[in-house]
Structure formats: C-alpha cells, structure tokens
Amino acid sequence: ELKVEQNPLFLSMQEGKNYTIYCNYSTTSDRLYWYRQDPGKSLESLFVLLSNGAVKQEGRLMASLDTKARLSTLHITAAVHDLSATYFCAVTGTASKLTFGTGTRLQVTL
C-alpha cells in the first residue's frame, strides 16, 4: 500500500525567512504533485515532477524530486503572508490514482 508522509504538519514561518517541507513516499511512483489549498477551497496545482532530479520553480516556491530516496521537497524562499495555506504532495500509484500526503499547514507571521 502506497503511503505518503509530509513533515512538518504545521509550520509557522517568519516573513522573509526560508523553509522546506518534506514529502516521503513508500513505493515507486512515476509522478509527484504539489498542491496548495486555501481554507474552504479546493486544490490549486503547483507542480508536477516527472523524473529523478526534476526541479521546478515558480515565484518563491521550488520543488524537487529524488526518486531513489522517494523524497520530494518544497522550498520556500523569503516567505510572505500570501503563502499561508495548506500544502499537499500527492503521488500516483496504480491506475494513476493519487495518494495524498498528510498536508502541511503553513502560517506566515510578521
């Protein structure tokens, strides 16, 4: 059974500082996704990582994938309040079904 774990579960960030969220998964997968969810809303797609060593960046967020370690990281550079949300990683398993991580709630404070 595919398991996906994220840590930390909650992260209080100071504006302007850098932070990293980790996503570990238990079995081989060919795709890893990062999503953002604002309170009461659905998911917003951030990144899809398709291969070992893949790195993608958008604004202050950068995601990377190490398939050998079954690890993805989401790095936040110079946090700003607008980044406050819950972030999920998700991994494809059999039949392209997505298994979601536990989620990391980010809160940016001044």
Judged by beta carbon, residue 95 or residue 110, the one nearer other proteins is: 95
Judged by beta carbon, residue 17 or residue 88, the one nearer other proteins is: 88
Judged by beta carbon, residue 37 or residue 77, the one nearer other proteins is: 37
Quote the least distance from Cβ 77 to other proteins, whole Å: 25
- C-alpha–C-alpha distance, residues 22 and 11, integer Å: 12
Structure tokens at 74: 């989401």
Quote the least distance from Cβ 28 to other proteins, whole Å: 16
Quote the least distance from Cβ 88 to other proteins, whole Å: 7
Positive or negative, the CA dihedral 12, 15, 81, 38 is negative
Per CB under 8 A, residues contacting other proteins are 31, 35, 40-43, 45, 48, 50, 88, 90, 92, 95-103
Other Cβ atoms closer than 10 A to 71: 14
C-alpha distances out from residue 99 to 4, 15, 29, Å: 7, 31, 11
